[in-house]
Structure formats: structure tokens, C-alpha cells
A and B are shown apart, each in its own frame.
Chain A
Amino acid sequence: DIVMTQSPLSLPVTPGEPASISCRSSQSLLHSSGYNFLDWFLQKPGQSPQLLIYLGSNRASGVPDRFSGNASGTDFTLKISRVEAEDVGVYYCMQVLQTPYTFGQGTKLEMK
């Protein structure tokens, strides 16, 4: 199974400041299509998860451009350029290259 390791697990952030979450996979997520099969989700308090980034770096429909994703080998990063109050919640990375699909442990972002 592919193991996904996120860090940090807790992320206090000052509104307006940038934030970064790391996700490392135990093996390459590069598909024959040329894309990394790595997605990012945000689960806001009391809500279902919502897709933020797909294929490593593509913003999902309706996601603000302050969110970005990038990849370097087996290291993936979700960046928020300027954190807003509505960004609080738990962020998960997920690999969909092969079953069993696996999630990272989650990173809880909260406001300072």
C-alpha cells in the first residue's frame, strides 16, 4: 500500500499570512498520463470534505487562487498565499494512483 505522510499535523496561522502543508508518498504517484495522481481536500468543521486540488496542481472549480499545489518527486505541497478565516479545517492529501487509495493523516489549520 502507498503510505501518505503529512506534516505538520497542526498548523496555527495568523490571518493574512501564508501557510504550507507537506505530503510525502512512499512511492511515485506519477501516472503514465504524465500527471501525479495526488489530490488535496479540505474538511471544514461539520462539513463533508471538498476537493481543492487535483492531479497535484490543478485547482478545482470554485477554489480561490490563493490555493496552489505543486509536486517534486514524492513530495507534494499545498500552499495558501494569504490565509483567511474561512480556511480553517482539516486538510488531507490523497493518492488515487492505485488501490487501496490512501489519505494522509490530516493537517488541522486553525487561526492564531
Chain B
Amino acid sequence: EVHLVESGGGLVKPGGSLRLSCAASGFIFTSYNINWVRQAPGRGLEWVSSISPRSNNIYYADSVKGRFTISRDNAKNSLDLQMNSLRDEDTAVYYCTRSHWYYYYMDVWGKGTTVTVSS
């Protein structure tokens, strides 16, 4: 069965750092783009970042560019999101998703991990 499991969320002070991870199983990891999508409390969905199968194409939302870094380890079927200089507005549930390598639709979502930025 296909699974994406996020971990690493927690409470962090403004200006702090956090590293999220996503463990994939049940599918050929190197055939898919992997993405992070977040949802602030009571709000809608916001795309954060995407990485292609061989890591040659990486994209970020303007709101996180320069502060967040996405990376993947194809040998371990895992994905990371290093988040630095965190702000209150980064508080959200962060979902790991997989998407088709060419058509980009996100067909599998993890259950999410919660990041709270607060002093």
C-alpha cells in the first residue's frame, strides 16, 4: 500500500529552525515528484515546495524562498524540508504529497505534521 508519513513537527520560537521529514513506501519513489503543501489553522491549502525525481528541478513559494530547503534521498525513499528563520505565519499542518512526474497532479497525501511557531 502507498504511504507517505511526515514527522518532525513541533513548537519552535520565531527565528528558530525545524527539519521535517517524509518517509515514502509502497511505490517507486524515483518515479515521482514530491511536494510540501501546508494549511494554516482554519485556512486553505498553500503549496510550499516541490522537488523532481532526480532533484534537478526544485521550486519554492515566494513566502518561504531563502528560508526553506527541500531535499530528497532516493536511496532511503525519504524527503526533508529544512525550515530556518521561522515566522508566526509558518504555523500550519505540513503535508507531504507525491505528484505525477509529468502531469503534476497530487494523488497521494500524508496525514501531515503540525508546526507551531510561537514565543
Q: Check if A23 is an interface residue, CB within 8 A of chain B.
A: no
Closest chain A residue to B45, Cβ basis = A103
Contact residues in A for B11 (Cβ distance below 8 Å) = none
Contact residues in A for B61 (Cβ distance below 8 Å) = 100
| Segment among B17-25, B74-82, B97-105 that sits at the interface with chain A | B97-105
Task: Count A-B pairs with CB separation below 8 Å.
Answer: 62
Q: Give the secondary structure class of A's interface.
A: loop
User: Which chain A residues numbered 59 to 112 have a C-beta less than 8 Å away from chain B?
Assistant: 60-61, 90, 92, 94, 96, 99-106
Q: Check if B27 is an interface residue, CB within 8 A of chain A.
A: no
Per-residue contact bits, chain B 34-64, to A (CB 8 Å; 1 contact, 0 not): 0001000000111100100000000101100
Contact in complex: A39, B106 (CB < 8 Å)? yes
> What band does the interface of chain A fall in when counting residues whose beta carbon is under 8 Å from B?
20 to 34
Contact residues in B for A37 (Cβ distance below 8 Å) = 103-104
A39-B44 Cα distance, complex, nearest whole Å? 15
Q: Check if B95 is an interface residue, CB within 8 A of chain A.
A: yes
For the complex of A and B, list the 4 residue pairs with the smallest distance between their C-beta atoms, beginning with the closest: A54-B105, A96-B104, A101-B47, A48-B109
**Interface residues, chain A, CB within 8 Å of chain B?**
33, 35, 37, 39, 41, 43, 48-51, 54-55, 60-61, 90, 92, 94, 96, 99-106
22 contacts across the A-B interface (CB closer than 8 A): A37-B103, A41-B106, A48-B111, A48-B112, A49-B45, A49-B109, A51-B105, A54-B103, A55-B103, A60-B105, A60-B107, A61-B107, A94-B45, A94-B47, A94-B106, A96-B104, A99-B59, A100-B61, A101-B47, A101-B50, A103-B45, A103-B46
